[in-house]
Chain A
Amino acid sequence: GAVVSQHPSRVICKSGTSVKIECRSLDFQATTMFWYRQFPKQSLMLMATSNEGSKATYEQGVEKDKFLINHASLTLSTLTVTSAHPEDSSFYICSALPLSGGAGNEQFFGPGTRLTVL
Chain B
Amino acid sequence: GESVGLHLPTLSVQEGDNSIINCAYSNSASDYFIWYKQESGKGPQFIIDIRSNMDKRQGQRVTVLLNKTVKHLSLQIAATQPGDSAVYFCAESGADSSYKLIFGSGTRLLVRP
* Residue from B94, B98, B103 within 8 A of A43 (CB atoms): B103
Determine whether A44 belongs to the interface, using a CB cutoff of 8 Å to chain B: yes
Report the separation of the CA atoms of residues A60 and B99 in the bound assembly, to the nearest whole angstrom: 17
Q: Quick check: A34 and B43 within 8 Å, CB to CB?
A: no
When C-beta atoms are compared, the residue in chain A nearest to B100 turns out to be A46
Q: Quick check: A110 and B98 within 8 Å, CB to CB?
A: no
Bitwise, B67-110 to A at CB < 8 A (1) or not (0) is 00000000000000000000001000110001111111110000
- Which B residues fall within an 8 A CB radius of A? 32, 34, 36, 41-46, 49, 51, 89, 93-94, 98-106
Question: Taking the nearest CB of chain A, how far is it from the CB of B97, in angstroms?
Answer: 11
What 8 pairs between A and B have smallest CB-CB spacing?
Answer: A109-B43, A43-B103, A44-B103, A111-B43, A112-B43, A109-B44, A105-B32, A105-B99
Report the separation of the CA atoms of residues A107 and B34 in the bound assembly, to the nearest whole angstrom: 10
In the bound complex, residues from chain B placing their C-beta under 8 Å from that of A91 are: 41
- Which A residues fall within an 8 A CB radius of B? 4, 6, 32, 34, 42-46, 49, 91, 93, 95, 97, 103-112, 114
Q: List 14 A-B contacts (CB under 8 A).
A: A6-B43, A46-B103, A49-B100, A93-B44, A104-B32, A104-B49, A106-B34, A106-B46, A106-B49, A107-B99, A109-B45, A109-B46, A110-B43, A112-B42
Report the separation of the CA atoms of residues A91 and B44 in the bound assembly, to the nearest whole angstrom: 12
